[in-house]
Amino acid sequence: MDDLSRLAFFRPFPEPALAALAAVARWRGFDAGQTVLEAGDLARDIFFIAAGEVRIITGASGGQEIILNELGPGQFFGEIAAIDGGPRSAGVVALTRCRICVIAAEPFMSFALSTPEASQHVMRLLAGLVREKDARLLELTVLPVRPRLICLLLRMARPHASGGLVVSPPRPHHELAARVGTGREVVSRTLSALQRDGLVMAERGGLLLPVPRKLRAEVEASYRATGAG
């Protein structure tokens, strides 16, 4: 059943407080691979993910696609355009079949401004977004490909029974390349070098990072070498 209470953002609020938003909310389904938003779109709706996953993408010079983020249930996107009225800064594509609640900027902002808890939540999320973008920008502008790829693998990894970390399921090299702003062949060579150094191990169902502290130390050393650490 489509209901705002399904969405993590709105769960703290009683149903009467959400009545006005519920009346204008639109629920949409998207198939895997379908475009949810185009970069440059002028619409100011906010999108809340009830089910499925989406990918945030942008273009670079030469037509190269860069993957900025992936979002899943409980997360939302489109808040920047809703606040400043500008065009969409990135495109959004459904990774899996999705169910998304779409709310126009005006009723959502009215709700947020009249509800202190909602305002604080939005501000915290925006602050986190700015920090994350600053960190990604620093990576892309000052780090060579190898430490950029290490940063990405560490972000994607989860704990493994061995005591290390694992990236599972393994991601295709072209996807990793789009995330770190380079080519697929460069990623393939870099992963091979990391495997030779014993920092990454290919295993069935994923990439094992047996000693994460060594990977983090390499990234820190790279930052220091650039003067950004």
CATH of the domain at 47: 2.60.120.10
**Do residues 99 and 206 share a domain?**
no
**Do residues 46 and 124 share a domain?**
yes
Side-chain half-sphere of 130: how many Cα atoms within 13 Å?
7
**Do residues 135 and 147 share a domain?**
no
State the amino acid at position 159 in one-letter form. Answer: P
Domain count, the chain: 2
pLDDT at residue number 95: 92
**Do residues 162 and 131 share a domain?**
no
Last residue of a domain, one of 87, 119, 140: 140
pLDDT values of the chain reduced to their tens digit, one per residue, 229 residues: 578 988 988 988 888 889 999 999 999 999 999 999 998 888 889 999 999 999 998 875 556 678 888 899 989 998 888 888 888 888 999 999 999 999 999 999 899 888 888 888 888 888 887 888 888 888 888 999 999 999 999 999 999 888 899 999 888 999 999 889 899 999 999 999 999 999 999 988 889 999 999 999 999 999 999 876 6
Domain that holds residue 174: 143-226
Q: For tokens 């996807």, what's the residue? A: 175
What CATH number should be reported for the domain holding residue 178?
1.10.10.10
Alpha-carbon distance values, 203 to 136, 151, 170, 173 (Å): 28, 20, 9, 15
Dmax over CA atoms of the chain, in Å, equals: 60
pLDDT at residue number 161: 85
Secondary structure letter of residue 54 according to DSSP:
E
Please classify residue 189 by burial: count the beta carbons closer than 10 Å to its beta carbon, then call 0-12 exposed, 13-18 middle and 19+ buried.
Answer: middle
pLDDT at residue number 61: 53
Asked whether 171 and 156 are in contact (CB, 8 A), the reply is: yes
- Two tokens at 199? 């920092």
Last residue of a domain, one of 81, 116, 140: 140
**Do residues 55 and 71 share a domain?**
yes
pLDDT at residue number 60: 59
Q: Which residues contact 63 (CB under 8 A, 6 or more apart)?
A: none
**Do residues 66 and 81 share a domain?**
yes
Distance CA 166, CA 155 (A): 10
**Do residues 99 and 159 share a domain?**
no
**Do residues 194 and 118 share a domain?**
no
Last residue of a domain, one of 140, 175, 191: 140
State the amino acid at position 188 in one-letter form. Answer: S
Count other Cβ atoms within 10 Å, centred on residue 32: 12
Asked whether 74 and 49 are in contact (CB, 8 A), the reply is: yes
pLDDT at residue number 229: 63
